Amino acid sequence: MLRICQCIRQLFIRCLNIFKYTRVENAEKGYQMESVSRDIESNMNAELRAHEDSFIQNPETKIEEFENKANFQDCEQINDEETIRQFIDDIPHISFSQTEFIKEIGERAVMAFTSVIDKMEGFELLEEEQDFNFWIKYVETPEKFQIGIMKYTYTLNTSIDSYIEFMKDLQLQKQMDNSIDAFEKHYEDINLQINYLRYKKIMFMDPRDFLYIKYTDRKGDDCIEISKSVNVDHFQPQEMSTKQSTRALLLLSGNQIKQIEENKIMITTYSECNMKLKLKPVMTKQASKNEIKKMVKRYRDHFNQ
């Protein structure tokens, strides 16, 4: 019975969240959803109490009746999706000494990544080639920021081990990309890093910086790299800048790396990032794709030397 009640509550919360989101999204259009939401919440609570009383009075009959009508798998899926979405949107607060907690964040990020990497709903295909594919979609926040969500695949002539070592070399990354102003490692363990990355002004975007964890999960011939922004009290970069930068949020970024030939890997990337930009997608999506293609070319040039 507890499982059934939890299921009802999850559906109830999902309905309320939809109404709350609609109210935020349509505030400028004059829609007033608050009273509607309160009425629905009151009615749903009354219905929920009635169902709970009914279960208590006649549990066996009601459980059988509910199981015939409800799909528990769908209910659990809603709960899982909401939990994953909440984890992605949340920026955890850490200190550098909390290594076990930071690793736990990395492990949860891997789970979130594996749950979203194959979902293609809403994505627009911008380029399709034999060794490079790129999709993108946007989500608008209540603050009107446009969050770009990118997926792309590409190949490199190297091994997983060589690629991982290459990605750990932050100074080499900086040398290869002249848009990077600073790239610093503030903590490193076997499969964990805490990095600070600052970009120079790029076209329409003023300087942006990131503070994030990077976690690597290696299983045989497959590997997942995960990055996620974190908050740290009183954090100071090693290399200060004279120009002010805006702290961007790497909500979830991950690479799924597979060895497809002896010296060839396939990388599938998911990147969800709030750059604190309000520019319309039509102004940024092609530029985003072009920047990724430049990055892939730099990587290929490096490994083809």
pLDDT at 9: 53
* Same structural domain, 265 and 133: yes
Domain containing 63 equals 2-26+34-70
Region 275-299: mean pLDDT is 95
pLDDT at 256: 98
Q: Which helix (H) or strand (E) holds 36?
A: helix 34-57
- Local structure of 74: helix, strand or coil: helix
* Same structural domain, 127 and 66: no
Identify the sign of the CA torsion 78, 79, 84, 85: positive
**Calpha distance 21→25 (Å, rounded):** 6
Q: Is residue 75 part of a domain?
A: no
CB 232 within 8 A of CB 211: yes
* Same structural domain, 54 and 201: no
Q: Is residue 78 part of a domain?
A: no
**Calpha distance 51→8 (Å, rounded):** 9
Number of domains in the chain: 2
Region 296-303: mean pLDDT is 97
Residue 298 confidence (pLDDT) above 50: yes
Residue range 107-134, pLDDT digits in tens: 999 999 999 999 999 999 999 999 999 9
Q: Is residue 82 part of a domain?
A: no
Q: Is residue 87 part of a domain?
A: no
Q: 34 falls in which pLDDT band (50, 70, 90)?
A: very low
* Same structural domain, 47 and 193: no
Q: Is residue 167 part of a domain?
A: yes
Residue range 155-167, pLDDT digits in tens: 999 999 999 999 9
- 243 DSSP 8-state letter: S
pLDDT at 220: 78
Q: Is residue 79 part of a domain?
A: no
* Same structural domain, 146 and 257: yes
* Same structural domain, 44 and 172: no
